[in-house]
Amino acid sequence: MIEVSGLKKDFHVGEITVHALKGINLEIKQGEFVAIMGTSGSGKSTMLNILGCLDKPTAGQYVLDGVSMGELGKNQLAGLRNNKLGFVFQSYNLLPRTTALENVELPLFYNSKVKAKERKERAIAALEAVGLSDRMYHMPNQLSGGQQQRVAIARSLVNDPVVILADEATGNLDTRTSYEIMSLLQRLNEDGKTIVFVTHEPDIARFTTRNVVFRDGHIIREEMVKDRLNAAEMLKNLPVEED
């Protein structure tokens, strides 16, 4: 699904050049749930932004679903982003003055083949998939952090992407809510979705199928997750906080 080779990314700020990625080789197969790990500043977000075609590499190859990204122009990249990819961010990135439903519909506005009726139906189905069909007309500020993140996941699903890319998606959430999000992502992955999940938290990475560890712009370690944790099971065993 994803093939990256010799990938480099430099940032130029004033006279300073930052070598954020220094030659990354990485292959991700369809159906994997990969955690990109590493300390702050190791290059995780830079990597994810390139995988999401939000940024271009300075050098190297990136092939997504059989298409070589280097050969595409701006409009083609934008089209691919809207049709093939789903994004989830730490701070949810929902539009504040629109309902949950409208937020989820948003990616479909960029697809002229999808008309208003279908757009709404698909958004409702995505909200149902994350267990939030009873919050359709809520504004983001009327939702808890975990609910906002579930709306963001519904938005990432609505165009039926080939890959979901998540950057520190549980970074603002408490333990229980983090497990709820991981449980949802594990379910989507079991249904066949490929997920790339950036996190600096080793505990959270144990819910994924493979861990890839970045340090200073390099991959320093890669391993399949042994004794993978099941988030739904762990939620059952968490003590219920008193209200």
Q: Give 65 or 216: the residue with its C-beta nearer to Mg ion.
A: 216
Pick the stretch among 12-20, 43-51, 141-149, 234-242 that binds Mg ion (CB under 5 A). 43-51
DSSP-derived pairing of the beta strands 85-89 and 16-28: unpaired
Q: How far is the CB of 163 from Mg ion (least distance, A)?
A: 18
Pick the stretch among 41-49, 169-177, 203-211, 232-240 that binds Mg ion (CB under 5 A). 41-49
Pick the stretch among 45-53, 59-67, 107-115, 144-152 that binds Mg ion (CB under 5 A). 45-53
Residue of 2, 28, 36, 45 that binds Mg ion (CB under 5 A): 45
**Among Mg ion, ligand ADP, none, partner that 13 touches (CB below 5 to 8 angstroms by kind):** ligand ADP
Q: How far is the CB of 40 from ligand ADP (least distance, A)?
A: 4
Q: How far is the CB of 19 from Mg ion (least distance, A)?
A: 16
Sign of dihedral through CA atoms 203, 180, 103, 126? positive
49 binds Mg ion (CB under 5 A): no
**Among ligand ADP, Mg ion, none, partner that 43 touches (CB below 5 to 8 angstroms by kind):** ligand ADP
Q: Give 43 or 107: the residue with its C-beta nearer to Mg ion.
A: 43
Site residues for ligand ADP per CB under 6 A: 11, 13, 18, 20, 38, 40-46
178 binds Mg ion (CB under 5 A): no
90 binds Mg ion (CB under 5 A): no
Q: Give 38 or 140: the residue with its C-beta nearer to ligand ADP.
A: 38
149 binds Mg ion (CB under 5 A): no
Q: Give 42 or 147: the residue with its C-beta nearer to ligand ADP.
A: 42
Q: Give 7 or 158: the residue with its C-beta nearer to Mg ion.
A: 7
Sheet-wide strand order for 2-13 = 16-28, 2-13, 59-64, 67-68
Per residue, the 3-state secondary structure of the chain, as one string, reads CEEEEEEEEEEEECCEEEEEEEEEEEEECCCCEEEEECCCCCCHHHHHHHHCCCCCCCEEEEEECCEEHHHCCHHHHHHHHHHHEEEEECCCCCCCCCCHHHHHHHHHHHCCCCCHHHHHHHHHHHHHHCCCHHHCCCCHHHCCHHHHHHHHHHHHHCCCCCEEEEECCCCCCCHHHHHHHHHHHHHHHHCCCEEEEECCCHHHHCCCCEEEEEECCEEEEEEECCCCCCHHHHHHHCCCCCC
Binding footprint of Mg ion on the chain (CB under 5 A): 45
